[in-house]
Structure 1
Amino acid sequence: MTVEPRFARTEDGVSIGYQILGQGPPLVWMPSLSNITAQWRIPALRAAYTGLARKVTLILYDGRGTGISDRRIDLGDLGVDAHLRDLRAVLDHVGVQRPSLLGYYHSVATAIAFAAREPERVRRLVLFGGSPQLREAMLPAQTQALLSLVEQDWDLFADAAATAWLGWDSAASGRWTAEAFRTATSPAAAKAWFEAAGHIDVTGELSRVRAPALVLHRQGEQRIPVEVFQRLTAGLPDGRLVELPGATPTLFIEDPAADIALVTGFVTSGRVGQPEPGTGRMGRSAPRTGLTAREGEVLRLLATGDSNAEIGRELGITVHTVERHLSAIYRKIGARSRSDAIRISVIARDGSPGRFPAAGTG
């Protein structure tokens, strides 16, 4: 499939390359370091683009200094206001009045800022992989190790970002993803992007977001902890967190059909169902317990009599993480002890889910 690039010009004179495809309610997939033409060569991304475009009008663009957009930019001007100028230029050029925004990694903060400052222009938000305080999303040790390669070895950075970090482990996807990173920008521009990101903080704007927001989390334990996304969701007036099964820190790879169904269902109708792994279908909304998907897994194993260590081995997480989940579970279901949690779990399983209090009230 070939999608011709188009170009918009920002108010400060930067040319922004974008693509548009599909039909239905508009969804803007906002960029991090990107190269939209190179990304079409990645089989999984190509399938994601075409899958989304069956339900929505998908708009892709490269931010300033990256991909097919103008690379002759002021590297000292890469804060959130500059990224907002890029987004506005694309929306104005397309003529979209009120799209939904998919904020992805670096662009989560930009999506939040735009929705807060221009609420009449945003229908819904889907947020994945980033934080209103971007420094927080860059703290994991694996991310820091990766960022150290930007100046030292650009080719190695691209390879590591594609495989070790984002989990594109198949030969074709890994190779083309590394190429997309490698050609997305220059090492100097990437360094400036990441340095500027470390100073972006739109936490104070969360309360002004009026659009319904779907916050998605699928991260390995060594990457961004779920607590970051729990705080993000709590700070949004109309936010909903869904923890996706799996550990690959990307969308549309581990269970692409379910991810596409979840995102398009929310964009087209506001519906949020829990993904049914491997089916591409949405199940019922999260139970009244207020437990996340991972907390539900921990509680299920707890009720079978597994120790914390056994739960950790089964779910591939540390004992410390199990203990953290148990603390949250006890608070949410009103349990005072391990045996109390098991008793309440058994009661709920036998047909009385209403006995669980809502999240945050126990």
Structure 2
Amino acid sequence: MSQGGPPQEVRFCRSADGTRLAFAVHGAGPPLLLSCCWLSHLEFDWESPVWRNFLLDLGKLATVIRYDERGFGMSDWDVSDFSLEARVADLEAVVDAAGLDRCAMVGMSQGGPVAITYSVRHPDRVSRLVLYGTYGVLVRNTESEELERTFQQLIKVGWARPDSTFRRVFTDLMIPGATEEQAGWLDALQARATSTDNAMRSRAARAEADVGALLSEVSVPTLVVHARGDRMNDFSDGRELVSRIPHARLVTLDSENHITLSDEPAWPVFLEELGAFLAADGVAAASTPAALRTLTAREIDVLRLVGRGSANAEVAQALSLSLRTVERHLSSIYAKLGLTGRSARAAAVARLLSS
């Protein structure tokens, strides 16, 4: 069981070259596999102010399968091959080890090219493809090459060092409006996720992961989700995917964050679009009323405490929130559930208890 999160089962398998990979399963419903970002740690992510609510909300939609890529988290760190081919082989190994005949797949950020390649090679095993904040075509010019050299130097001198220049650059790209808590977690994640050498070599390999030639061959239903102000992967990357993947649809998030946070307006938009897209293939959890599925993990936390008889001030204390924030969450809950008036509080709790 992960610390601070719901029960998850962590398992291990080996890729084609013998690399030991860790993957985890949580949630309920049909399978949804995440081909995820550059930095991850299956256990530590549950402590994250960035990832925790993301994972909780996805677990309401489906049985979520995530894995640490080679060289990261709980997977083997002693590896030499970070190529796209090796990473696709890792995904193939995880899908097989998890016993998945067919599943929906989310390719996030640096995991996008891996998910795209897998979907082209194994279209019979991917029911639906979501490409979130990612890219397919690499832009190569003098400016991009200079930026990559600068990024490599920042990793070399600043990896895992609190208040480092690299941390500030990385945080500004990933989450421009990061709180101190979120920025501090990114500091800790660097040391937990991988070594300086692995970070440099894996970053260099990702700079070669161009799958533009495969985009026209993607045959599974595809949803592209991209934040308009994304600084890690430009919004034009999302538009490029939609223009080249047959019948792909673009959802634009009104956000600057590369990873959408659960307390920003773009989050319920993302959840609603994802749930609707997956539901078309029977992936969304049918046992949960549609309106409740639009609530964020934090809103569910607030509503559960209200259901136990806690006053707003007690909810604020229990969740380390301000009273104003609790009131804002409750207003959002009532609006999403279509409730008004003095009975809204009791009606919202009743909806949760009956789900």
TM-score normalised by length of structure 2: 0.70
Runs of 4+ in 1 over 6 A off after TM superposition: 140-144
Q: Deviations over 1:39-89 (max 9, x none)?
A: 111134111111111111111110001100011112xx2111101111111
Aligned match of 1:110 in 110, 114, 125? Answer: 114
2:99 is matched with which residue?
95
Secondary structure of the residue aligned to 1:5 is: strand
Q: What is the letter of the counterpart of residue 163 of structure 1?
A: T
Change (3 A) 1:239 1:49: same
Q: What is the letter of the counterpart of residue 102 of structure 1?
A: V
Cα root mean square deviation, aligned: 2.7
Q: Deviations over 1:141-189 (max 9, x none)?
A: 8877544311121122663366322116123222223312332111111
Query: Are 2:266 and 1:261 aligned?
Result: no
Secondary structure of the residue aligned to 1:54 is: helix
Q: Contact between 2:224 and 2:251, CA under 8 Å: does it hold in 1?
A: yes
Q: Contact between 2:26 and 2:63, CA under 8 Å: does it hold in 1?
A: yes
Aligned match of 1:49 in 36, 55, 58? Answer: 55
Taking the TM superposition and a 5 Å limit, the aligned residue runs for 1:53-64 are 53-64=59-70
Q: Contact between 2:230 and 2:257, CA under 8 Å: does it hold in 1?
A: no
Change (3 A) 1:198 1:162: closer
Query: Are 2:11 and 1:6 aligned?
Result: yes
Secondary structure of the residue aligned to 1:133 is: coil
Change (3 A) 1:160 1:108: same
TM-score normalised by length of structure 1: 0.68
**Cα distance, 1:196 vs structure 2:** 0.9
2:346 is matched with which residue?
none
The number of residues matched between the two structures is: 272
Q: Contact between 1:106 and 1:134, CA under 8 Å: does it hold in 2?
A: no
Gaps of 5+ in 2: 283-292, 296-355
Secondary structure of the residue aligned to 1:123 is: strand
1:238 is matched with which residue?
247
Q: Contact between 1:140 and 1:223, CA under 8 Å: does it hold in 2?
A: no
Query: Are 2:168 and 1:160 aligned?
Result: yes
Taking the TM superposition and a 5 Å limit, the aligned residue runs for 1:103-252 are 103-134=107-138, 139=144, 145-154=150-159, 155=161, 156=164, 159-160=167-168, 163-167=171-175, 169-220=178-229, 224-252=233-261
Secondary structure of the residue aligned to 1:27 is: strand
1:23 is matched with which residue?
28
How far apart in 2 are the matches of 1:136 and 1:261? Answer: 35
Moved more, 57-66 or 173-182: 173-182
Change (3 A) 1:6 1:242: same
How far apart in 1 are the matches of 2:165 and 2:189? Answer: 12
**Cα distance, 1:217 vs structure 2:** 1.2
Which structure carries more relative contact order (alpha carbon 8 Å, separation 6+)? 2
Q: Contact between 1:9 and 1:89, CA under 8 Å: does it hold in 2?
A: yes
Gaps of 5+ in 1: 272-278, 282-362
